[in-house]
Every structure is written in C-alpha cells, then in structure tokens.
Amino acid sequence: MFISGDNLIHSLLETNKEVLTKDEVISMVRGLQVSNKPIIESGPIRIDPNTKSFYFNGSKIKIPNLTFKLLYYFILNKNITIPKDVIIHDIWGDEIIVEYGSLNVQITKIRNMIGRDRIINNKRIGYQYVEK
C-alpha cells in the first residue's frame, strides 16, 4: 500500500500526537526518503548522488556537501556555460545572500580535485564544465 507524504505525516501525527511534534514527524519522513538519481560518469569522474559519493580515477574522495552539490550540478550541465547568478540561485537558493567570492572558493576546490582545465570561466558570463 502506498501512502503519500502528506497522508503519512497526518497518519503519524494522529497515532503519535502525544509523543511527536509535526517537525519531528517531517524529519522522520525526510529520513525515509530514498533518492533515485542516476549515477553519472564523466572521464575519470564518477558521482553517486544517492550516497553522495565522489570518485576520481577510481579512488573515493570525501568532499564537503556544498562542493559535491556544485560538482554534480556542473556535470549534469556539462559543456553549457551557466551564468554565475543562475549557479548561485540553483545551488544556494534564494534564502541567503551569496557573493561571487563564495562561488569562486567552491570552483577552486573543484578545480584542485579534478583539474583546472575542466571548469572554465567564460569572462563576464559564467562557468562551464568541459567534459574530456
């Protein structure tokens, strides 16, 4: 039997009203969600978004979540120049103000891991992941 997210939350709230708050139930449901995003490969890079695993030349490398998210984003959009403002919106969202310097720091981290020539800066436009 399949229960939608809203029905599951309502059901858990009803059966556990004296024990759990709505936020606790939502947290439980989120913990049960399973991602089915495809594993992607690009040259020596392999990324599994379901386990947040990053491999380079067959070796697993631990990277911060934000760096992982940005690298995955670039590879999904390979060979496309993405404006800086679009990257910031897609990665950080609208909830916080992010300066270009924060993006540059993440780009530098990625370049140091996968090679400087894989993420190029198209002046005054944005960045592009180049598949090699």
> Do residues 117 and 107 touch, judged by C-beta distance below 8 A?
no
pTM: 0.71
The CATH number for 95's domain is 1.10.10.10
> Do residues 33 and 91 touch, judged by C-beta distance below 8 A?
no
Domain count along the chain: 1
Range of the domain at 119: 63-129
Is position 74 within any domain? yes
Give yes or no for residue 38 having a pLDDT over 70. yes
Is position 36 within any domain? no
Is position 109 within any domain? yes
> Do residues 69 and 98 touch, judged by C-beta distance below 8 A?
no
Distance (Å, whole) CA 131 – CA 95 = 31
What pLDDT shows up at residue 16?
Answer: 45
Q: Which backbone phi and psi does 53 adopt, to 5 degrees?
A: -105, 135
The one-character DSSP state at 34 is -
pLDDT digits (tens, 9 = 90+) for 52-64: 999 999 999 999 9
Average of pLDDT values for 82-95?
Answer: 92
Is position 38 within any domain? no
